[in-house]
Structure formats: C-alpha cells, structure tokens
Structure 1
Amino acid sequence: MEPTLDNYKISCELLGHSLDVRAVSAGGRTPDGAQMILSGSRDKTTKLWKAIGDEYIESVTLKDHKNFISYIYFLESEQWICTASNDATICIYNQDAFVPLLTLKGHESTVCSLAAGLKSRSIISGSWDKTARVWLISETGDVTFTVLQGHEAAVWAVATIPAQQKYVTGGADKCIYYWNAQGEKLRLLKGHTDCVRALIPLPANSLLSCGNDAVLRFWNEDGECVREMSGHTNYIYAMAGNPALGEHIVLSCGEDSTLRMWNVITGEQLGDPIVHPAISVWSVACLQNGDIVTGCSDGVVRVFTKDQSRQAKESLLRAFDMAVATHKSQLSEEIGGVKKTDLAGQEALLSNGTREGQTKMVRHVDGSIKCYVWELGKWKLVGDVTGATGGTQENSGKKLHEGKEYDYVFNVDISDTEPPIKLPYNRGEDPWQAAQQFIHRNNLPQAYLDQVANFIIKNSDNAQTVIAQPTTGYQDPFTGGSRYVPGSSSSNVQGAGNMDPFTGASSYSTASSNTQSGTNVNFVRGSDKHFPVSTYRTFDTCDAKKVLEKMKEFNNKLTCEEGKVGDEILLAVIRLTEKSPELDPTALEALMMLLKWPAGMLFPVLDVLRLAVRHEVVYSLLHNSHNVLNFVLPQLGGAAANQLMVCRCLANGLTHPEGRKQIEAQLPHIVELVSGIRAGSANLQIAIATFYLNVSISQTLDVARPEVCHATTSGIVELLKWASDLEAWYRSMQAIGNLTTTSSGQETIAQVVSVDYVMDKLRELTNTQQDENFTKVNLVGQALLAVF
C-alpha cells in the first residue's frame, strides 16, 4: 500500500536549538542499531540526537563554525558528519567526535549544499560564490578540489549520479547544469522561474528539482521537463527521499509552513500536507525506519511517524494540533503581511510620534485596524485599514540579493547620479567582515570600514518590523560619529527625521522597515486636511563641532591667496550656527570671506549660512552689506552638496519677512536655476520641495502675487518630472494645494498644471515603491483631485 502523509503523526519534538533549525539529516547508527538525527541551526551549532527507546536525547553539540549552519550531510561510506556554514567553510567530523577531523576552506561565501562525491572520501559542495567544488580527501588528510564554474549566481543545490559518473548543480540563476567527473559542463536544463533550491536524482537517469517558484519539476533522461507538481504556495526549500518509503516517493517542505509527500511518477500529492506551527520548514530528512524529520524556523526538530507504537502521547498530539491551529488562525489574520496580533493596541497612541508624517497601524478593541498619522503634535485618524494581500512568495519575508538569502539588505545611496547599492547582512556574521566585503565589492575607501561595521551592529540587532517606524537618529555609516559630510549633522527638517544627503532618507533601511513590496493595503480616507499648510518648514539640526572640523580641514589645504584664514576666524563663523547668535560684525564679515572659497570646499560654509539665515536680522545684515544671494545662487549649477545647501538656505530664508522679500524678488530667476537640477538624492529632492512649500505658505499668509504663484507652480511641475522620493512628492503636492486656496494660484495652476499628468506620475511612482509615506501621498493626491 502506498504511504501517505495522512498516516503520519508527531512522534517527538527535539528542543535544544535557540534559533532556526536550518538543516536536518539522518546520521549514523548507535551500537544498538538505532539511527541518529543530525540538526544544524542559526545558533551556529550542530547537534547529534541519539534514540533511547522511542525518545531522542541530545548526545553531542558541535560548536566549531563561526556562523550559522546551512547544510548537514552524513557521508555514510566514511561515517563522516559534514557541516556547511555561512562562514564559507565545511567541517568534517568523525561520528561521536567533538572536534573536526578537517575544515575545508576555499569557498568565498556561504556553503549552502553538500552531497557525496563520485569517488570515495569525496564530497561536492555548492556556494553563494557561484561555484561548486568537488573535494577529495586522501587517507593522509591531504585535500584537493575541482571547481565547477559556470553558474551566474549562487549554487544552492548539488547532487551526484554515480551510475552516470555525473554531478548536477542548481542555482539562483534558475539553471541546472550537468558536469562530468573532470568538472566539464555537459548539459543545461532551463524551466524554473526562480532559484533552484534542491535536487534529487531518480531511477532511469531522471531528476527532480524544486525551488523558489514553488514548483517541483520532473526531468527525464533526455533533459525534458515532463511533469510539474504544484501544491506549495511559497518557496520550496528542501526535498528528501528514502527507499523505506519507495523509490518514487519524495518529501518536500518550504516557506508555506508545510511538509508534503509526492508520487513523482504520477505527480500526485499523497495525503494532506502536514502544517507546522512555524512559517519556514527549512529542511526535511527520512530515516530508514520510515520516520520523517523536519527542521523549522521556530528552532524545533520534529519527528513524524506512521508507526503507531512510536507516535506521541495524547498530550503532545493535542499540543501540536493546538499550536498548528493557532498558527493557521494567525496566518489568516493578516493585513499587508502583518499579523493583527502583532499590531499595537490603542495604548500606542499615548506615545508621541517620532517625526511629522509618521504612520502607524493600531488594533482597536473591536478588532478593527485603523491607520493614524502624526501631524502637528498629535495622532490623526487616516481611516480604516480594510484589506490587504499578503503571504505570497514575493511577500515571504525572506530577503534575497543576487540569489542569496539574507536577514537584512540595506539600500545605500552614495551618489546623486548612480542607483542605490545593496549592503546585505546576516545575523551572526562578523560585521567587520561584512563591511569589508561591501567596501571591496563597491570600490569604496577603506576609511569607511569602522563606520559601515558600526552601522551594521546598530541596525541589525534592533531591526524594524513592518509595523515599526524608521528611527529618527542620524545613521550614516560612512560618517559615523566622528566625520562630517555635507548635511550629515544638519539635515533635519522641522518635524521630520534626520536624513543624510548622500545616503538619502533612511538610506540604510531593511525591506522590513517599510510596507513590504507587493502589499496592497486599502485605506478609507478620513476627514484630515493635508493643505493649506501654514507652518514654515526649516532645516535646523547641526553638529557644530563636525562642521568646524571640516572647515579646518579645508582651510589647511588652502594658501593665503586662495582664502586661508586663521582659526579665530573659523571660530567666529561657527558661532553663527547657534540658535540665538550674537550680532558680531566680525563673524558676518568672516562668513562672507569663506563664501569665496573654491566651490569644492564650500559646502560646510554653506551649511553655516543655512543656519545663520534663519535669523531675520542676520539675513538682513548679510543682504544689505553683500547681497548674499548673489554669492550662493551660482552654486545651484554646481556640485550636488552645494545645491543641497543652497536649497536649504532658500527654504530657511523664507521663514521671515526680510528673506521672503529678497527671495521672491528674484523668484523667477531662482526657479529657473533650481529647475536646472534634473537628478539628485532624496534629501536634495526634499530640500527643493520644501523651498517650494515655503513659498506657497507665504502666498497663503499674505496677498498672493500672480508672478510668484506662476514661478512656484512651474518649478514644482519640473521637480515632479524627475523626483522619486515620496516625501518630496508629498511636500510638492501640499504646495500645489496651498496655491489652490488663493485666487491667483487657482488661475495659475489651471494654466500650468496638468492634473492628469501629475496623478499619472503619482500612480507610476506609488506602484514602484510603497513605504509608509505612500498613505499620505495618496491622500493628498485624492484631495487635489477633489479640488480640481
């Protein structure tokens, strides 16, 4: 009679690992003939479990890897326990040994799969370094290896076909390759649409594969995919077979919490899947007595059996069923991939928000989920969260980068003209090693090492969940706490979080710090108004010590002819960053001297100016004595750092009557210069949008002037043609909204703005990035549509 999973019940649960059990394997036998179980975990340990009667006890714990265990293989011919790790090594142990017989080094990244080699005392390994290696170990312990090179991404799966003297590998490039014993490529199989994660050779030279596309594929000896087996709803991580079950019976497990059994000849799923009380069933193994072992993300090793004599006591059976039922109910109660039970209750509204525009989902006592936004010092209701999609493969919670799996993948914007680069990191990995690899991959200065490593330490240990809000602390891994770059300590917008201009807003953020991509959360609009805005936005924060250090550094590089000054001059200038600076004519004259420095050294001086012009009397003196705008406006056509600081100067200068008078007098010319900027970081986009928003505020608080409204509207339209940051969009659309409240603005907008164009751009933007700002941008857009 053909086995089915319906006959299997929980036998026992092996508790001992403190983190995910990533790998399980059948081990060797004890003297009394009982088979051992091997398990490897994210806690960096491998455990041997020996059967004592119908129970298993922890016999040995191996602790020789420096990072998590990714795969375990028991080489029966040699009675070797082989463990692969994220530390790029393979440890080989004799059974019951406590220290490795050998440690195989050579892979450049995580070793994620193992299998027996074609020769005795050999194994094959697959790695994230895009290669497989065949290792041959002599009787004397000498090690030689052959590299199988051809995959374009991580090699997730390896297998051996002894009858054909061939190796098979599968990778994140969606390809399966056959190789001969010499390491020469023989055949390519294509069909998977995502990473290939596991391979099992079958009789008649056939092959079974599975992967992140949630499909098992059966390939005949001619390399044709003749059968696809579907049932899993998310990534398939592992497969296992055992003659005790039948040569045509295979087990699979994956990210959908299930273990499944298949007849690969018919393609039929045998029985209902066994649901586990954990999201990820990472690994599966078969014992020779027909029992099945799984390793899960809840840190538990479970054994299932069809032998009634080995099935668990009624209490454990009930406890397992209850845990599964609870897990299922939690899976069904999700919004946007977030469990309702994980959401904070209404008590969360008693805590202040961390920045203007922060959003939060809150669970009410009646079970409803509502969205709130932090505005003007209090939480305001946005509306009910009525539905979402979640739990899909794209929304699995696993971070993949270049076919490799990571706990965190941070986005890094290091250039205004280049796309972001990725900084991947796994828990338990040496932060300095990860930082060094990041620096080497991207040809960055070695001086960044400590800053990158310290950033990883700070942000990986306390990573945000999808319902948490981004931290407001300044977190630039390149500058850390000891080095100044433009805007690093002075990039705060009133009511908003710190954002470094060269790394962008929340540049180092995990995918989980925002609403997950692929999520479609529908908000019912509340009654809150997003415009008119009547409070000017300013850029206020400053670390004067760092700015002074940077000015001293530049000053020391100059000659007297180029504008070198004494340290006392720099000290006088830095005092202008204070909230209430003394009106020292010497300091103002010194600032004007420094504004004549070479453009490449000007950004810290402009940073000081950005703070000084907040004060009307200071602005007035600088204008009356030197017409300061004539010094700074040419920098709008210069380097990105200078553009950023000038836009912040303009935004801050608009907060008082003297600044508005002078800036609005030249507004068409200023807008023309600003509109010449066609690319830039998120911070630059926000600075430009804030400048326009402050101009629009001035028009709502005073008599609106048609020429000012026209120039502002034209500038906003030009910005929206290239801006991609949602906060910049929000402020720009608030500015448009402000202008619609004035008669001059309404006439101008009707002439200049195509609302359909703006809304089409908004839809395009929000289809490609949905973070916490999406809600308020969507709402202000709907409010604008209502006006028009």
Structure 2
Amino acid sequence: MEPTLDKYKLSCELLGHSLDVRAVAVGGKAPDGEGQMLLSGSRDKTTKIWKPIGNEYIESVTLQDHKNFIASICYLPQEQWICTASNDATICIYQQDAFVPLLRLKGHESTVCALAPGLKPRSLVSGSWDKTARVWLVSETGDVTHLALQGHEAAVWAVATLAEQQKYVTGGADKCIYYWNAQGEKLRLLKGHTDCVRGLIPLPGNSLLSCGNDAVLRFWNEDGECVRELSGHSNYIYAMARNQQLGEHIVMSCGEDSTLRMWNVLTGKELGAPLLHPAISVWSVACLPNGDIVTGCSDGVVRVFSQDPARQANKQLLQSFEMAVSTHKSQLNEEIGGVKKTDLPGPEALLSNGTREGQTKMVREADGSVKCYSWELGKWNLVGDVTGATGGTDANSGKKLHDGKEYDYVFNVDISDTEPPIKLPYNRGEDPWQAAQTFIHRHNLPQAYLDQVANFIVKNSEAAPTTTRQANSGYQDPFTGGARYVPGSSQSQVQGGGNMDPFTGASSYSTTSSKQSSGVDVNFVRGSDKHFPVSSYRTFDTCDAGKVLDKMREFNAKLTSAEGKVGDELLQAVIRLTDKSPTPDPTTLEALILLLKWPAGMLFPVLDVIRLAVRHEAIFSQLQSNHNLLSHIVPQLNGAAANQLMVCRCLANALTHPTGRQQIQAQLPQLVELVAAIRAGSPNLQIAIATFYLNVTIAQTLSVASSEVCQPTTTGLLELLKWAKDLETWYRAMQAIGNLTTTPCGQETIAQVVSVDYVMDKLRELTNTPQDENFAKVNVLGQALLAAF
C-alpha cells in the first residue's frame, strides 16, 4: 500500500530558537545509541543539537560561533562532522561532541546558503550568494583546499553530489542547473525552471529532482530531460528531502505556502493532503531513518511528525497544534493595504541596508503580525505595528500601498517626457501644502512647484471641503494636465501615525477629534500663508480595549483584596468606559477610582482607560467633582515613564472640553512644573507632553489669554525643546509657540522669558537638517515660526 502524509501527526515541538529555523538536518546517533540527533540552524545565529529522549528531544548543545544567521546545515557521518553555513560568508565544522569549531572555512564573498557532502571523504560542497559553488577538501593534517565552480550568473542556492557519476550539481537564482565534474569543469546545463532553483536531490538511476521559486518540482532523467513536473505548492518551494524508509522515490517538500507535502516522484502523484503548519515559511525538511519527518519554520519552532501512533503527541498537544493551524489558515488570505500579508517580505528584508533616510518597510513577522520599520542613521528602527487596515483590500478599504505605507491616494505624476511617472501619496485630512513640500523634497524638485502640486492635490482629492468634483472632470496631472489616476472612495482612516502604546503594542494616539478631519495639524490658509493660531485640539483616541482588559486582569490576579483586587465583572464594566459613547453608572466610576489604588507599577492600563474616559465632559465632571480625579493621577507625573505617558495623554484629552480646561488651568503652574521636570523619554512621551502644551495654547487662543497661563506654558515648552529629539514633538511644540505669538500676553511673555536667538538657532538646526519623511512639514512650520519671531 502506498504511503500517505495523512497518517502523519505531530510528535513533538522543539522550542529554543528565538527566530526563524532556516535549516534542519539529521545528525549521528545519540551517545547512548538511542535514536538520531537532530540539528537545527536559525536566524538567531545559533545551531542547536537536540538529543532524543524517548519520543522527545532535549536541547543538548548550542553552537554560537557565527556572526549572522545560519542558512544551511550538513552532517558528514563518516567524519561525524557537523557543518554549518552562514550569512557571515563562512562555514564552521564541528566534531559532533564539540562546543567550538574544528575548522572555519573562508573563501566565499557572501552568504553561504547551501551545503552537501563532497565526492571524497573529508570534503564538502557549498553554494553562495557570490554566484559560485566551492568544493572544500580537508586533509588529515587539517590543511584546507577549495575549488571554485564558476558559471552561474546569480546566487547559487542549491548544491548536490552524484556519487555514482562522480559529479556535482548546482542550481541558482539564474534559473539554471549545472553539472560539473570533479575537476570543476562544466558538463551540462538544464533549463526549465522559470524562477530561482532552491533545492536539488539525486535519485536512483542517475536522475535528479529540483525545486524552486516557481512552485514546481521537476524530475530530470539520466539524459537531462525534464520528464515530469510535480505541481501542488502555491508558493516558493524551499527544500526537499528523501524519505527512504517509505521508498526510494518518496520525497518530502516544503515552502512559503506553509505546507509540507509528500510525493511519489516516479508517478508524479502527491501522497495525501498537505500538512499545514502554523507559520508562513516552512524553510527546511529532513527525514529520520525511522520515517519521521522534521521541519524548521519561520515561527522559530522545530517540529517532528510521525506516522507511528506510539511516537505521536498526546491529545492536548495535538489539539493545541490543530488550533494554531486553524488560526493561521484563517490569516492566510488577510490583506493589508491591498497586499496579501503572505506577499510581504519576512525579517530577512531587514538584512539589507535602506536606500535613503526615512525609507520605510512593512515586514511580516513570524507570528503573522506586520510591523513597519524606518531606515534611520544606518539601521532599521521599529516604528510600530501596521494595524490600520488589517484584513482590508484595495477594493473594500480604498487604501493604496506606497513604500510600505497606506494612503487614500497615490497619484502618478509626469515631470518629464523622458522619465517614468513618480508617485505622489496623499491621505485625506493631510495638509495639501505639507504633502506637496514632502513630495518636492523627496524628489529634489524646484520649490517653485509647491503651489502647483498642492493645488493639484486639492483639486483631485477631498483635501478641501469647498472643492467640488464633477463626475466627468477626471484627475489632472499637476505638470502635464493629463488624467492619471482615479482614487478610491473609501472614507476609512489610518490612525495613530506609528506611535506605539507601551504595553499593548498598538497605536494609542491620533491627531483626530470626533468633529475634525484627521491629520490636519495646521490651519494653512494659502491666501495669507497663515499658520497660526492652530485651533483644532489634538486627542489620543485609539485603543485596543481587549488588550487593556487582558493586562488589567493579569495585574488583578496578582493582588489580594487588601491590595485592591476586584471582581472580573467590575473590570468589564470599567473597560466599557473606553467606548465612543459610554454611559457609566456611579458604581463603575467608583470602581475606576478604586483601581487607582493599585501599586504604581500596575497603574498604566488603568490610566489608559482614564485617558479615554475623560474625553467625555460628563464623565470627567463626575470623576473630578465626586472623586477629585486630578489629585489621584497628577502625582504619577513623578512616577514611571509608562504612567507619565498616560497622565500627559489624560491631561491633553481633558483639555478638549470646558470643564477639563477650567480644572486644568486652575492647577496649570503646578502641572507644568511637574511636566517640565521630565527630561527624557520615548517619542511617545515627547509627543504626549507637546500635545498637552499645544492644547493649553489652543485654549488660550480661543479665550482671553492670561500671563498666569502663558508664562509657565512657555517655560515648559522651552524645557521640552532642550531635550526632545522627535520631529512630531518639535512640530507640535512649534505650533504651541506659534499660538502664543498670536496672543498679546503670549508675545509679551515670550519677549520676557524666551531667548529669541536661542529658539531661532534651535529651529534652524532642526529645519536645515533633513532627518526623515516628517522633515518637510517641520521645515515649513519652522520657517513660518521664524518669520513670526
């Protein structure tokens, strides 16, 4: 009866690697003779040796001699050598029971990504991104010689040895397969793959099996003819392994479609349903002599599967695995900004340097989440989770993807008859002139284009409420006047701007308020170049209530009743205060105040609930009049950074309604003194402080400003500008200073307490030194503020 993959179930999961497991292999027998050792290599730069104990494996040795990720592992049984290849362009050779390399092979100029045993004892063949394969020979005395196999036009991803024919075979990113003799002479070229060749396996009868990025396995006969194609994978195939316990022509394959598959190469038949993994990439596969199968995946886990019921996992582990697979399966078709998550690059994309300051990349993590990174000062820095349109598509969200970010519009702009169009991205609510300035800076266009580009944005988007678009008017290129692009009609917004909540990981603030379009940070009236006063309050609105509740439950479980532990029903009532239109009862508000008695280290989720609750004037009024809310939260400005962040957000949100402004302005000198005492913090904290000051000054421009408010506010702003480095912080702080310049008492106060030369020098320093994609809007506002002085 023909074998089938349907009989295989999870045997065990080997946990220990912190990043993708790029390579797995079967080692020699365990020291006690019970079973085979397993080898795994990871992006975390380590190789692990796993020792069998019954039906389980335990981590025996961790090898840490490479400087970058492990790409391939090969075991030479005759010598009992463990060979590891790495992105650091070297190969390490270890004795099976050793902790340090016996030899380190150097000669490749880039990542070594493939290894196989050589034709001779103590020899090895390797493939590299440097477009060469190399045959290494280690003499009995330890001397190393190597022979280069040169001919590929791109990276050599796969190598194999045909022992009977005394030949080597290599496959590469140039879609070619070459045969070589032992002297390094090219013998044969096989063509057929339409994308990179990623794996090669010699089969009986001098035949060969290959796989690659075209998602096809190809069976080549002794004469070099492709006599069969095996199709089933829906994405890149990364690796293959023969399962000789089941038959000479039984082969396993794995790849980027999250699956492991079994094939009969002679018949071309897939044997059973594919075995889905709870990870995007199944990087590597190996087969044990007893027929068990080993895989290494992008979630950092090594898994062993067996068809023997005696070696299969217990019911609890099997159910856990099936649940993880089911969850992953539901995520496979998720899109973000019209791009499938599975089409986004993995963490390996961060191994390549950025091409310019401020460049952004969306990266798919091993757990399925998508994170945004920005290239700054020579390294990729995490900006935050990409959550704005998860699960959306271009059709149902209207978002367009450009440089890893989502936009409501991405226009094609022709600037030359001889050059291709360049992209002009724009989001609803963004200031058109700031978007135009960013576009001009990025593409080194003349400053004279500013109005032309900005007016184009206004005309072809929803940038101005007075703009009326006729159905047949079309969209006009700002330079050629030609119709280029018809944007989507979605009203969805991307919230948060990439600033991360300290414990949920989600974006926790937004420049929107419920009555204003998002992201409009300046009243930019082109007729008079008016930047100040800014009159739209900034609020911190975004929240993942589920994560906040989970964190409160976690902390609550650690407390005793004497320490403030409450029932879960009260926690659920409190979390409802984060709703857009909560209807709290006195008991819920009393419970919220009770939670404020928790230890300081557990307060930040409670404060996060409060910063959302106080947006509503009725709730703030009850909390302040009945429980003196400010007296409970303000002392935390002297506390931990997470608590400082949440309190500043609370104050900023409370300033958006009259009751909050009245209560906060009555205590403003004391509040500013506490806030100004903060002299370091994350970009999130910097932004929260600047937003607090900005909202204070907005209140001043909309009422009768007083020196009692202007003076401490100006002093606090200057203290912030002494240490803040975040551009958004500077932007909002400059808006606040600009607001003060529009009030009589503000002008007088600035003249008294501000060194104009100091402020001008700081502004010139910032606005004359581009740092990232936010530079343009800071530059524009900085120049306006300098003019105001």
TM-score of the pair, normalised by structure 2: 0.52
Alpha-carbon distance change, 110 to 764 in structure 1, aligned in 2, over 3 angstroms: farther
1:536 & 1:52 partners in 2: Cα distance? 66
Q: Quick check: 1:165 aligned with 2:166?
A: yes
C-alpha contact 1:468 1:513 (8 A) present in aligned 2:
no
- What is the Cα deviation at residue 57 of structure 1? 1.0
C-alpha contact 2:428 2:462 (8 A) present in aligned 1:
no
1:20: which partner in 2? 20
2:376 & 2:75 partners in 1: Cα distance? 38
C-alpha contact 1:693 1:735 (8 A) present in aligned 2:
no
Q: Quick check: 1:456 aligned with 2:378?
A: yes
C-alpha contact 1:408 1:426 (8 A) present in aligned 2:
no
Query: Among 384, 406, 414, which residue is 2:349 paired with?
Result: 406
Alpha-carbon distance change, 311 to 464 in structure 1, aligned in 2, over 3 angstroms: same
1:701: which partner in 2? none
RMSD: 4.4
2:64: which partner in 1? 63
1:537: which partner in 2? 433
- What is the Cα deviation at residue 265 of structure 1? 0.8
1:34: which partner in 2? 35
- What is the Cα deviation at residue 762 of structure 1? 3.0
1:486: which partner in 2? none
- What is the Cα deviation at residue 691 of structure 1? 2.3
Matches within 5 A, 1:214-253: 214-253=215-254
Give the length in aligned residue pairs.
456
2:457: which partner in 1? 730
* Letter of the 2:20 counterpart: D
- What is the Cα deviation at residue 511 of structure 1? 5.7
2:47 & 2:444 partners in 1: Cα distance? 50
Q: Quick check: 1:80 aligned with 2:81?
A: yes
2:109 & 2:273 partners in 1: Cα distance? 41
2:628: which partner in 1? none
Query: Among 485, 495, 518, which residue is 1:762 paired with?
Result: 485
C-alpha contact 2:249 2:264 (8 A) present in aligned 1:
yes
2:107 & 2:427 partners in 1: Cα distance? 61
2:383 & 2:176 partners in 1: Cα distance? 33
2:407 & 2:24 partners in 1: Cα distance? 33
C-alpha contact 2:46 2:62 (8 A) present in aligned 1:
yes
Q: Quick check: 1:692 aligned with 2:477?
A: no
2:205 & 2:247 partners in 1: Cα distance? 15
Alpha-carbon distance change, 143 to 755 in structure 1, aligned in 2, over 3 angstroms: closer
Residues 511-550 of structure 1 show CA distances to partners (whole Å, capped at 9, x for unaligned) of: 645589x9xxxxxxxxx9979x9x88369xxxxxxxxxxx
1:397: which partner in 2? 345
- What is the Cα deviation at residue 183 of structure 1? 0.9
1:194: which partner in 2? 195
Residues 190-230 of structure 1 show CA distances to partners (whole Å, capped at 9, x for unaligned) of: 11111111110111221111111111111112222221111
C-alpha contact 1:116 1:123 (8 A) present in aligned 2:
yes
Alpha-carbon distance change, 758 to 166 in structure 1, aligned in 2, over 3 angstroms: farther
- What is the Cα deviation at residue 466 of structure 1? 4.7
Alpha-carbon distance change, 292 to 306 in structure 1, aligned in 2, over 3 angstroms: same
1:559: which partner in 2? none
1:426 & 1:65 partners in 2: Cα distance? 25
Classify the secondary structure of the residue corresponding to 2:78.
coil
Alpha-carbon distance change, 530 to 389 in structure 1, aligned in 2, over 3 angstroms: closer
Q: Quick check: 1:124 aligned with 2:125?
A: yes
Alpha-carbon distance change, 425 to 313 in structure 1, aligned in 2, over 3 angstroms: closer
Alpha-carbon distance change, 137 to 686 in structure 1, aligned in 2, over 3 angstroms: same
* Letter of the 1:14 counterpart: L
C-alpha contact 2:85 2:112 (8 A) present in aligned 1:
yes
2:375 & 2:481 partners in 1: Cα distance? 41
1:210: which partner in 2? 211
C-alpha contact 2:362 2:404 (8 A) present in aligned 1:
no
* Letter of the 1:762 counterpart: Y
Matches within 5 A, 1:386-785: 388=338, 390=340, 395-398=343-346, 406-407=349-350, 409=352, 412=355, 455-457=377-379, 459=380, 461-462=381-382, 466-467=386-387, 512-513=404-405, 537=433, 682-685=442-445, 687-692=447-452, 730=457, 733=460, 760-762=483-485
Q: Comparing both chains, which one has the higher relative contact order based on Cα–Cα distances under 8 Å and sequence gaps of 6 or more?
A: 1
- What is the Cα deviation at residue 737 of structure 1? 9.1
C-alpha contact 1:118 1:165 (8 A) present in aligned 2:
yes
1:467 & 1:249 partners in 2: Cα distance? 43
1:286 & 1:135 partners in 2: Cα distance? 25
1:61 & 1:16 partners in 2: Cα distance? 10
C-alpha contact 1:214 1:230 (8 A) present in aligned 2:
yes
C-alpha contact 2:359 2:375 (8 A) present in aligned 1:
no
Structure 1: unaligned runs, 5 residues or longer:
339-387, 400-404, 415-419, 428-451, 470-508, 519-527, 540-646, 652-678, 697-728, 766-770, 777-788
Alpha-carbon distance change, 465 to 215 in structure 1, aligned in 2, over 3 angstroms: farther
Classify the secondary structure of the residue corresponding to 2:241.
strand
Alpha-carbon distance change, 61 to 272 in structure 1, aligned in 2, over 3 angstroms: same
TM-score of the pair, normalised by structure 1: 0.52
2:140 & 2:86 partners in 1: Cα distance? 24
Alpha-carbon distance change, 297 to 510 in structure 1, aligned in 2, over 3 angstroms: farther
- What is the Cα deviation at residue 741 of structure 1? 6.8
Classify the secondary structure of the residue corresponding to 1:148.
strand
Structure 2: unaligned runs, 5 residues or longer:
366-373, 390-400, 411-425, 489-493, 498-516, 518-789
